[in-house]
Amino acid sequence: MIITFIFDLVRSLVNGILHLLNAAMGFISRILGLSKRAPKLVQCSHHPEPTLACPKCAEEQARARKYMWKIIIGLMLPFALQSLDTTM
Ligand SMILES: [Zn+2]
C-alpha cells in the first residue's frame, strides 16, 4: 500500500523533472538557433485557403501589440506616481 504510494510519487516526480528538462532543452536549442519552429499554415479571414504569412494579420497583430503596451504603460505610470506620493 505505502510502497505503491511512494512508487507513484517517485514516478510523478521523475515525470515532472523529465518534462521540465525537455522544455528547457527545447528553449535552449531554439535560443542557440539549433532548431527552429516549423512554419505552420494559418487560416485567416483574409484568404480563402491557409497561408504561411498574411500581411494584414501581421499588421493587425502589430497594432494590437502597440495598443496593449499603451494600456500597460498608461496604467503603470499613474500608479507609480501614486505610489511615490506620500502624504504626511
Ligand atoms: Zn489574414
Q: Cα of 53 to ligand 1 centre, how many Å? A: 8
Instruction: Say whether pLDDT at 87 is over 90.
Output: no
Structure confidence at residue 76 (pLDDT): 96
Concatenated DSSP letters of 1-55: -HHHHHHHHHHHHHHHHHHHHHHHHHHHHHHHTSS-PPP--B--TTSSS-BS--H
Domains of the chain, residue spans:
1-37, 39-88
Q: Cα of 62 to ligand 1 centre, how many Å? A: 13
Distance CA(32)–CA(63), nearest Å, equals: 29
Q: Cα of 67 to ligand 1 centre, how many Å? A: 19
Structure confidence at residue 42 (pLDDT): 83
Q: Cα of 26 to ligand 1 centre, how many Å? A: 29
**Where residue 88 falls among pLDDT bands split at 50, 70, 90?**
low
Residue labelled with grid coordinates 496593449: 68
Q: Cα of 40 to ligand 1 centre, how many Å? A: 14
pLDDT by residue (tens digit) across 16-74? 889 988 888 888 888 888 877 777 888 888 888 888 888 999 999 999 999 999 999 99
- Pick the more confident residue, 13 or 62: 62
